Amino acid sequence: MAAGHGNTPAAWTAVAVGMLGFVIGSVALLRSEAQMTLLWIGIIIALLAFPLFLVLSKLGFNASDH
């Protein structure tokens, strides 16, 4: 792997958005009555991380400063 593999704004943003989606979905499942709406919101946010990465890559945020 390259020395800067994954250390780009596009990668960090996609990972942060994906983690946010998983946290929201997990909180929905931990509630006393599972809230399906909140769960689906978390799933949708997590699934948007990959297209977000692709868009940011095309905009040039996938280039390392090295």
Amino acid 33: pLDDT: 80
State pTM to two decimals.
Answer: 0.83
Amino acid 32: pLDDT: 75
Residue 36 in domain: yes
Residue 1 in domain: no
Q: Looking at the 3D structure of the chain, how many domains does it have? A: 1
Residue 19 in domain: yes
Q: Which domain holds residue 34?
A: 14-58
pLDDT per residue over 2-53, tens digit each? 566 678 999 999 999 999 999 999 999 998 787 899 999 999 999 999 999 9
Say if residues 49 and 20 touch (Cβ distance below 8 Å). Answer: no
Question: Residues near 6 by Cβ (< 8 Å), separated by ≥ 6?
Answer: none
Residue 18 in domain: yes
